[in-house]
Amino acid sequence: MKKVIVLGAFFAPFIASAQIAQGASTVPGLIAFLKDALSTATVLILAAAVVYFLWNVFGFVMAAGDSDKRAEKQSGIIYGVIGIAVMVSIWGLVNFLTSSAKLDTTTRTAPSLSL
Per-residue pLDDT of the chain (115 residues; tens, 9 = 90+): 666 566 666 666 655 555 555 555 677 777 777 888 888 888 899 999 999 999 999 999 999 888 899 999 999 999 999 999 999 898 888 888 877 887 766 666 666 666 5
DSSP class per residue in the chain: -HHHHHHHHHHHHHHTT----GGGGSHHHHHHHHHHHHHHHHHHHHHHHHHHHHHHHHHHHH-SS-HHHHHHHHHHHHHHHHHHHHHHHHHHHHHHHHHHTT------PPPP---
Q: Where are the domains of the chain?
A: 45-108
Q: What is the pTM of this model?
A: 0.61
